Amino acid sequence: MIDREARFRIGQVVRHRVHPFRGVVLDVDPTFSSSEEWWLAIPEAVRPRKDQPYYHVLAENATTHYLAYVSEQNLLPDESGDPVRHPEVSRLFGALHDGLYAPRRHHSH
């Protein structure tokens, strides 16, 4: 397997290439790390490869917000400049600047 850097950064605003949602990258897995059942539930014709980065995204669409798990091949940078309304964004990130939210610093005790 070839190691490569993730295309998107934590805090970056992205949108799905096919489905109508956008969100903020929360975390990145170097390769697929969800369940086999989850992966097999995706129709084979559109099932993404496992050997690419996968992103945990604080996602929103026109009606709701949720946590999405998305392959790199299915994400694009969101260039709208609009903030993401997902309620966890303000808890985990600071200001939005040039399509990137600044992660909040967490203090350990």
Tell whether 6 is covered by a domain. no
SS (H, E, C) 26-90: EEEECCCCCCHHHHHCCCHHHCCCCCCCEEEEEEECCCCEEEEEEEHHHEEECCCCCCCCCHHHH
Residue 28 lies in a domain: yes
Is residue 8 a part of any domain in this protein? no
What CATH number did the domain enclosing 79 receive?
2.30.30
- The count of domains in the chain is 1
Structural domain range at position 24: 13-103
- CA 48 to chain centroid: 15
Q: Tell the burial category of 107 from Cβ atoms under 10 Å away from its Cβ (0-12, 13-18, 19+).
A: exposed
The structure tokens listed for 36 are 């086999």
63, part of any domain: yes
pLDDT in tens, 58-80: 999 999 999 999 999 999 999 99
Pick the residue with more confidence: 109 or 32? Answer: 32
Q: pLDDT tens across 2-61, in order?
A: 456 899 999 999 999 999 999 999 999 999 999 999 999 999 999 999 999 999 999 999
